[in-house]
A and B are shown apart, each in its own frame.
Chain A
Amino acid sequence: MDQRPLAGVRVLDFTWAWAGPFCTLQLAHLGAEVIRVETTTRALCVSRSIPPFADNIPGPNRAGYFNQYNQGKRSILLNLRRREALEIAYELVKHCDVVAENFAAGVSEKLGLGYEKLRQYRADLIMISMSGFGQSGPYRKFLGYGPPAAAMSGLFSATGYPGGEPSEIGISYPDPNAGIFGAYAILAALVHRDFTGEGQYIDQSQWEATLPVVAEGLLEYAVNGREPVRDGNHDRLMAPHNCYKAAGDEDKWVSIAVGSDAEWRALAGAMGRPELATDPRFASAEARKRNEAALDEIITAWTRERDRWETAETLQRAGVAAFPSLSNKDLATDPHLAERGYLVSLEHPEVGRRIHAGIPWTMSETPCRVERPAPLLGADTDHVLKSLLGFSAERIAQLRRDGILS
């Protein structure tokens, strides 16, 4: 028997951008059967249609973006503009515990997929809507994407090099953030259902989901009326605390953070500069903060002469928190991540074996695993209609001829 925590939980997944698929990816990792509803009658979901493609050859099944965030899921084709397709979706809902969508607010109702409608088919349904701004309020119909949500959440205004302008943060962070909070909410709703037997509707706003993790900035304003200061990699209390240039002309860096005087003494010793530990400019955290520019220069002079891994290993042996700044290539070829079983490369019918980021947790008694690679577009349509709804091969063929399964 499948012991995984969500074995037996079935999810009908209408999500399309990134936050939604990242949410349902967690459920698939935990053992849920996630059925993605796709169509070829409109533009393909963005993650199937933008680079990187395997070996730079475009194709809906070759997109890394899709194949990463849809590992372990199934894909069916339904042209939901057709009444018969909608009826099939309703029949599927009867067999599903969870429905997830991330259309703009109001769109699921317009499509006939609103919660009030769907719960007629499954009284204890759990449904989550993941929109940019939530289902109510003056901005509810505005377009929401991750990077704009980062701007609106104060992350741009609070991030930046010292003395510099507000800055972007490199990734579309509010998307996976909303996804992981959404997955937590679904777990909570499943526990709630276990206790009470009742399902529920969850309204998630990407903007609102980002604000709880920006709370330190909000609190700074709430308590002292101050905006957070953009200070690069520096910390308000800890010093040294930065990314330092490593040896060579290449773009290699190593992060070093010192959280106590003991760690500072260890760093000074490891650099072969024990006298720095008693230098009054650096003797306490407050002193090191005051003289941080000089401190950064001294450390850079040392890191510049060394390979980033050599620096990290030397400092870690001395008990100092140091780690190279890893690139995508570094991650995909990392022996530690490989040994932990984090890197997943299952055989995919079109792209072969490619390394994907896997599951960031382990469970000792109910081990999680990536069950299968991301599905080919519509690959599971027949299987799902046969196994869940008992459709015959003839009926499926007829529906396909009629353009319902496209």
Chain B
Amino acid sequence: MTASEKQDKPGSPFGAIRVVECGAGVSAAFAARMLADLGAEVVKVEPPEGDWTRRRGPFPKNEPDPEKSALYAYLNINKRGVVADLTRAEGRELLGRLLERADILLHNVAPAERAGQGLESGALCAAYPRLIVTSISMYGDSGPRANWRGYELNASNAGGWAYLSPGASPYPELPPLKAFGHQCDFQAGVHAAMVALAGYRARAKSGRGQAIDVSEQECIAAMLEMNFMHYTYAGRETSRLGQRALGPWFIADCADGKVFVVCVEEDQWQRLVEMMGNPEWARDELFKDRVSRAQNLDALKALMSEWLAGWKVEELFRKGQGEYRIPFAPVNTMRQIYESEHLAARGFFTVFEQPGIGPLRLPGPPSRYGRTRWELRRAAPRLGEHGEEVFVGELGIARERFASLRKAGIV
């Protein structure tokens, strides 16, 4: 970038980055929100019926209302929203106008559906040579299963995560277990946001945009700790069954809730023994090192349970961590997270006013920047809220044409 270009872009440096988001659900929306949180100008393009997260909730009082979905609001704060029916030529034409001035396109429309929505990467790159076309798909844009369908549950299984979850399970009749929420979709979103910024930096050097293909399955398969290599290094097929690699490692009952007990290093175990008052059994050969303690975990759990049950979770956590340096962790509920004194001291939660829902306490930045500004500054858009502002006000579509497109159900 030249010096004069720098001067032309006032305010937050990210304010110069224009992003268009299409698709639906979590992954692309979260990616675009990550950029929006830093100041990028994001226009979200929704189909006439709205994003499906509008229908998912949670809703206040459990009353479904597309303008009151907290998940939709969370994913789309800091964006402007327009409606364009991309299955129709007029809708695709409007998308084209948006893309003419955009730096980054983020979408998660499946490869099989792209042609019908004007979202084929090759065609977009040819039409908009400076655009960074970032697509997220379940299995990638190429390969024999590029056109397969998938939701979060399938991604978790295709990526190899579910097969390992919950881990150390004694119940082979129970299936692989998906983790709560949309974790795979979120991960694909963070990857996409990161690579989109990489594409943006590359363009500063080359002057050219490009197509980025993010595979959700591959994002998850890269995150399996050492499981992938258990096979390729040692020939072991791992699963949710079997035992932990080290011990102690279990969820236990305290007097008022659950605590996660784990000792990663030997010195942590030694201090735990000391904290328990050096019981005789702790010297048993069965518990001599972290591997033995994993092999004999049931016996260990039984011996520790009475001691653990005598503690309140918070007291065990603070004393264990603070005085004995043992990585105890409370098995928190959502309420307990909101009530955390530590998160409050760091000012983590932000109260944010979302029309229709009211004040929401929302998670703060995943990383705290010393200089880059992260902020929640604009409520999530109502369906089509900024259509006129963007299409008529900024892109110069004639007011009459916009009205007729609206009448035709395209915007």
Contact = CB atoms under 8 A, between A and B. Distances in A.
B225 interface: yes
Interface string B138-165: 0111111100111111101111111111
B18 interface: no
B332 A148 contact: no
Interface in A142-189: 142-145, 147-149, 151-161, 165-173, 175-177, 180-185, 187-189
Contacts of B38: 188
A180 B234 contact: no
A214 B181 contact: yes
Contacts of A255: 153-154, 156-158, 162, 176
Interface stretch (A80-88, A287-295, A332-340, A387-395): A332-340
B361 interface: yes
Contacts, number: 511
A198 B371 contact: yes
Q: How large is the interface on B (under 10, 10 to 19, 20 to 34, 35 or more residues)?
A: 35 or more
B234 A64 contact: yes
B328 interface: yes
A328 B332 contact: no
Contact of A326 (B60, B61, B160, B202): B160
B338 interface: yes
B212 interface: yes
A357 B204 contact: no
A366 B345 contact: no
B371 A200 contact: yes
Given A177-B187, A255-B156, A324-B157, A211 B369 contact: no
Report which residue of B13, B213, B218 has the largest number of chain A beta carbons within 10 angstroms of its beta carbon.
B218
A83 to B, nearest CB: 27
B96 interface: no
A36 B330 CA distance: 33
A251 interface: yes
A52 interface: yes
A254 B175 CA distance: 9
A111 interface: no
Contact of B260 (A147, A214, A332): A147
A332 B106 CA distance: 29
A59 to B, nearest CB: 11
Given A223-B360, A233-B153, A361-B195, A326 B58 contact: no
Contacts of B153: 233, 235, 241-243, 255, 257, 321
Given A65-B225, A159-B179, A362-B213, A202 B367 contact: yes
Contacts of B157: 243, 253-255, 323-326
Contact of A223 (B59, B231, B240, B369): B59
6 contacts: A159-B165, A184-B190, A192-B371, A227-B335, A357-B218, A363-B198
Given A62-B233, A238-B151, 13 more contacts: A67-B229, A137-B345, A145-B262, A157-B331, A157-B332, A170-B166, A189-B371, A211-B363, A224-B62, A242-B153, A251-B241, A355-B228, A355-B232
